[in-house]
Structure 1
Amino acid sequence: MLVKQKGIIIKTVDYGESDKIITILNEHGAKIPLMVRRAKKVKSGLQATTQLFVKGLFIYNKWRGMGTLTSVDVIDSYYDLRVDLITNSYASLCLETIDGAMDTDQVDPQMYALLEFALTQIEKDVSAQLIANIVMLKCMTYYGFDINLTQCAVKHTEEPGEFVGYSFKYDGVISKSAAHLDPHLMPLTNKALYLMAILKQLPLSKINSISIHDDIVEEMSQFILLIYKEYSGMYFKSQRLINQLRRFNSTFE
């Protein structure tokens, strides 16, 4: 049976000397693994069209088990994501987060919409780090946890200007008047907490023209990564690469 589906490649794995297996997240929000024969052979014409981030119309044969890719009509290769290593790494973090959020047989159109949004925004030169933050905020519940960033866990106040940090003891944001109750409180600016609360809840269609100061984006990143580590035990391979690249760059500054 010949199948045609629009999708984005979210994973590639070498298979033997010349083949590889790709996984596409299709437009319906399902992960589809496909065998690509002779993918690493230049003459096959599939080398460039079966890389990470490629969005296209995938045509494949499907009978039993894994399908076999026949051809790809590329819609967007998101070429600019590959030019800068840091940008590429944050885009990969988006892929890794979305891939990990979904079970093998899960179908969720929102995940495809989130991935398409992320790659499009990064392609428009929006901060890749900020977009990765948004993706991770949106995916929290898929990893089995959630956080409340709009109400003090102790005093129950909902005034963002009063928030001074996050408490793992009370599992929530803490206002200034309750900060003394947790000596291990993670300090955070109320601006970072407010923006994360907004970005977490705001529909993708409402997120336009994003511009947040780099220091705030970095503060958000450190907090979100720690939240994932503490509540789900996740540490992302892409983030490890980002940390290595940063250390490498800092040695030449």
Structure 2
Amino acid sequence: MIYQQTGIMIRQTNYSETSKILTVLTEAGEQVPLMARGFNKPKSPFVVLRQGFNEFLFTYNRFKGIGTLNDVDVTERFKVLNGDFDLYTHASYIMEVIVRALEEEMAYPSYYRLLTTGFKLLDEKNERYSVTALVLIKMLPAYGGELNVDHCAICGQQDFKNYSHYSFKYHSVICNRCLDEETLERAVPVSNKALYFSLYFKHVKLEDVKSIQISEDVGKALLKFIEMLYEEYSGVYFKSKKLIIK
């Protein structure tokens, strides 16, 4: 049966000297394995798949198991992202975080929307550290973590201007008025701006994020904070992370 689906290539594996097996994440959030015969040939019809991160319309035959790729057309080019090494590394990080949370035979349409939103925001030159942090925040529950920044763990205050620390003892933020020797145990200082944006990104609907224009310093602080949560609650190490310039 012939299918046509929009998607992004998330993985490629050598099958022979000239062919590869590709894994496509479709807009329905499904992983589709496809045989791309002649992929490595100079005049391959699939050469466009070697041009970085882009969204494609894939035409393929499939009955069961691995399908056979027949044709591919670009539906959206992320030209700026692919032409800037720094942006490209952030895109790689975003993709790894999302792809590693995928499970076989499960559909994740929200993950696909998150991936394309992250790519579009980077391509439009929004603040890159904040874009990456947004994706990590949205994906945190998939890795067993929870972002508790809505109120002070001790007094329940909800004024982010007074937040100054995150406690790994209480698994939440602590305000200035509740800081003492006991509450500071396993607490790390975090800027209130970083905590505010982490709260905002946690609750904002993805379709409402049109742009992210905050300072790079705040973006870096935000990403550093979210990465600390991943280290504490998931224990997962992302290889792409080491390429990000801190």
Q: Which band: TM-score by shorter chain?
A: over 0.9
User: Secondary structure of 1:68's match?
Assistant: strand
What CA distance in whole angstroms lies between the structure 1 residues aligned with 2:34 and 2:50? 10
What CA distance in whole angstroms lies between the structure 1 residues aligned with 2:109 and 2:132? 19
Paired letter, 2:175: S
What CA distance in whole angstroms lies between the structure 1 residues aligned with 2:104 and 2:45? 29
What CA distance in whole angstroms lies between the structure 2 residues aligned with 1:17 and 1:129? 38
1:234 aligns with 2:236: yes
Aligned twin of 2:18:
18
Deviation at 1:116, TM superposition (A): 1.5
Residues 9 and 52 in structure 1, CA contact (< 8 A), matched pair in contact too: no
Aligned twin of 1:106:
106
1:151 aligns with 2:151: yes
User: Secondary structure of 1:39's match?
Assistant: coil
Aligned pairs for 1:195-210 (under 5 A) are 195-210=197-212
What CA distance in whole angstroms lies between the structure 1 residues aligned with 2:109 and 2:231? 26
Paired letter, 2:240: S
Paired letter, 2:222: M
Residues 128 and 219 in structure 2, CA contact (< 8 A), matched pair in contact too: no
Deviation at 1:233, TM superposition (A): 0.7
What CA distance in whole angstroms lies between the structure 2 residues aligned with 1:44 and 1:152? 58
Aligned pairs for 1:134-213 (under 5 A) are 134-180=134-180, 181-213=183-215
Count of matched residue positions in the alignment of Structure 1 and Structure 2: 244
User: Secondary structure of 1:35's match?
Assistant: strand
Q: Percent identity?
A: 34
Q: Deviations over 1:36-82 (max 9, x none)?
A: 11111111221223555221110111122111211101112312222
Runs of 4+ in 1 over 6 A off after TM superposition: none
Deviation at 1:242, TM superposition (A): 2.1
Paired letter, 1:92: S
Cα-Cα RMSD:
1.6
Change over 3 Å in CA distance of 1:130–1:15 after alignment to 2: farther
Residues 60 and 69 in structure 1, CA contact (< 8 A), matched pair in contact too: yes
Aligned pairs for 1:76-87 (under 5 A) are 76-87=76-87
Q: Please, which runs of 5 or more residues in structure 1 have no aligned partner?
A: 247-253
Aligned twin of 2:41:
41
Residues 12 and 51 in structure 1, CA contact (< 8 A), matched pair in contact too: no
What CA distance in whole angstroms lies between the structure 2 residues aligned with 1:85 and 1:61? 35
User: Secondary structure of 2:32's match?
Assistant: strand
Paired letter, 1:233: G
Deviation at 1:6, TM superposition (A): 0.8
Aligned twin of 2:226:
224
What CA distance in whole angstroms lies between the structure 1 residues aligned with 2:51 and 2:99? 16
What CA distance in whole angstroms lies between the structure 2 residues aligned with 1:76 and 1:12? 20
Deviation at 1:26, TM superposition (A): 0.7
If each structure's helix is expressed as a fraction of its own residues, which one has the higher value? 1
TM-score, normalising length: structure 1: 0.91
Residues 121 and 211 in structure 2, CA contact (< 8 A), matched pair in contact too: no
Deviation at 1:105, TM superposition (A): 1.8
TM-score, normalising length: structure 2: 0.93
